[in-house]
Homo-oligomer: A and B are copies of this chain.
């Protein structure tokens, strides 16, 4: 399997995972079939859409390859018709979601650099690609986005984006840097969940 094929496969896996998370949120809010599919697509592709609109990579990537739209529709259908069994897979889901997080952060930062965005901006775009879909999902079902008030999630994505940008400036090998970045985001996310770490909360004083 070539590096390009590998990246495509990983990309589609990330889209599938985020699609599942959107569809589960839709089922949870008792949306109808269309609503569940729309939320699946929005969660899976939303981060990439925001990225492409901001860096000027238009038409957005997900519009030019039918598979990017097909995958979240298919996983959305599966969740809609068999979702009660999905709840039992939450451990698997955590692992795949953590991989998706790292992957989207890396793909986002990489694409921003390729479009001439400087270092700090590329880190921001990497983060936004990774969490944008989840933000959209939560806003559409009227929740304060999970990523803003719980657990170590965005931090792991940001770290992956920073590694990609630093690796790029240091002219390290792209594939090696991406692998390290995805592994770090994945590891930090899984360990923090296991150890129940969380980001600091504001001290409310008088």
Contacts and interface: CB of A to CB of B under 8 A. Distances in A.
Interface of A: 26-27, 29-36, 38-39, 41, 49, 52-56, 58-60, 62-66, 69-70, 80, 83-84, 112, 115-122, 124-125, 135, 139-145, 147-150, 154-155, 198-202, 204-206
Contact of A144 (B33, B83, B140): B140
Contact of A148 (B39, B56, B116): B39
Given A35-B148, A154-B38, A63 B124 contact: yes
Contacts of A149: 29-32, 35
A35 to B, nearest CB: 3
Query: Which residue of A27, A58, A206 has the most chain B CB atoms within 10 A of its CB atom?
Result: A58
A187 to B, nearest CB: 18
A149 B70 CA distance: 21
Contacts of A150: 32
Contacts of A116: 59
